[in-house]
Structure 1
Amino acid sequence: MSTDVVSARRRRTLFIYVGYLVALMLFFGPVLFMLWSAFRTHLDITSTPLDVTSALSADNFVRVFDRFDFGRYIVNSVIIAGGSTALGLLFGAPAAYVIVLRQWSGLAFVMLLARMAPGVMFVLPFFIFSVAVGAPSNTALNYTVLVLAHVVITLPLCIWLLVPFFESVPASLDEAAMIDGATIGARFIKVALPLVAPGLAVAVTLSFVFSWNYFLFALALSNNDTIPLPAIAFTFIGEGQSDYGGLMAASTLISLPALVLATTAQRWLVRGLTAGAVK
């Protein structure tokens, strides 16, 4: 093998690893900065943001827990994100199955448009509906409105994610079950659904994370009893005064549940993402 070929391969390998390093910094740089800043004072963050010698302490986390009832806000977020994920999967999985069965690929794209639309388009209708049914003064109704609003995020996502998995199920299995007399519901539950379990894991994880982190509906529709975690971070930034140390500590705590879920479901998540890419 000639020296020029070896040198070209080494340069190509070097460029590849440099690209990996740049991508790593772009994706994880802000996260690492958030974690580091959570243990620094507001003055250190604003005056010397890259000073690695600044003192670290847990005062920001102590102040966050003293200022807010984080346990209640976590429960609120779990109810909203969990409820919207469950509804998105409950209606999204049958919808994706029927779309594949009837070959309505255009309908799947139309559903995705709802996810691509800016959330502000849905805030005013949901706010008017919330006031009309008295949700601002009723905790149960307010939870219901918030969950339904977040279904706008989770339902199109579940449908779009699950369509490729149902397409990968051999049509012969569905036809065999139909010949045996199985109804469409039985074929969906007993034949198709077990074969797309990795896809369900992907849909649940991504839907929960998207709903958990969504800020707009939480800010506009929640009341004092139902306010979820993302809206709490907003209180650290005000006109003329901000607490970036507290904001970074709160953001770290808000990110932890979604991170734990993604880490726990990592095996199923990776298997589902790779399975959905192969037909």
Structure 2
Amino acid sequence: MKKVSFAEFGGPDVLHLIDAEEPHAGPGQIRIAVRAAGVNPVDWRIREGQVLGAHPTRLPSGVGLDASGVVDEVGEGVEGVEVGAPVFGEGASTYAEFAVLSAWARMPEGLSFEEAAGYPSVVETALRVIGQVGVRPGQTLLVSGAAGGVGSAVLQIARERGITVIGTAGAANQDYLRGLGALATTYGDGWVERVRRLGPVDAALDLAGSGVLRELVELTGDPRKVVTIADLDGPELGVRFSGVAGSVTEALTEAADLISRGKLHIPVQKSYTLAEAAAAHIDSQAGHTRGRRVMVV
């Protein structure tokens, strides 16, 4: 089978499309014929060797955590899913023609494989950080870097829970944020004052790692009311860095319910082939994403 792999840590140029042996489902796992794989910032952080504590990596290594596809092997002890079922979930080395998943859910009716591949990690992350930051219905949450995949999920989940959201993003994404129910403003010079004019902030999330943690602490008045998923220096300011996943299966179940009820939709901004993995990582690292980037197999 074809698979994207890297044999050393480094830039996008270390990614290569290779011929590899097919993986097989072990106990409690399923294997899918991959139709699409999600492109996440953690993918290139793993490729660079940034997050070895949370993601121990043995070289050579495959790439990718999220995928959608059709079940073609069911491991020992797995119940409730059968060969031929369309699923989306999380596993390992998903930039490939076949991948093993350790957490999954059936795809909601009407969702394409391309769209489904964009949900697993971002929805788990969104649910996790909303819980960790402790924001409650009736309060206001500030989201820095709100137009990407995690931000898109946070805005919609928060709205469903009765939480007001102020989102920062580039000028081109202001209408997109408003369409997701957020109070929107741009980042850049004067952004703190623009946020203040929109109202007081009870809690804040840093999803972009753009060096705004001090300002987020200033706006909330307490570093314990700020969570980052992108700035590794957060703990130096007393800000929690959230990098360890919770229950992906529970997150997928909630995502499927929200999608089915029309309460959650994350658009696919751009698709790539496996041979274009390096380009996908370059674009992901550049930021300015609206929704998701995915690999189509």
Q: TM-score, normalised by structure 2?
A: 0.27
Computing the radius of gyration over CA atoms, which structure comes out larger, 1 or 2? 1
Looking at secondary structure, tell me which structure has more strand per residue: 2
Q: TM-score, normalised by structure 1?
A: 0.28
Structure number with the bigger relative contact order (C-alpha 8 A, sep ≥ 6) is 1
Looking at secondary structure, tell me which structure has more helix per residue: 1
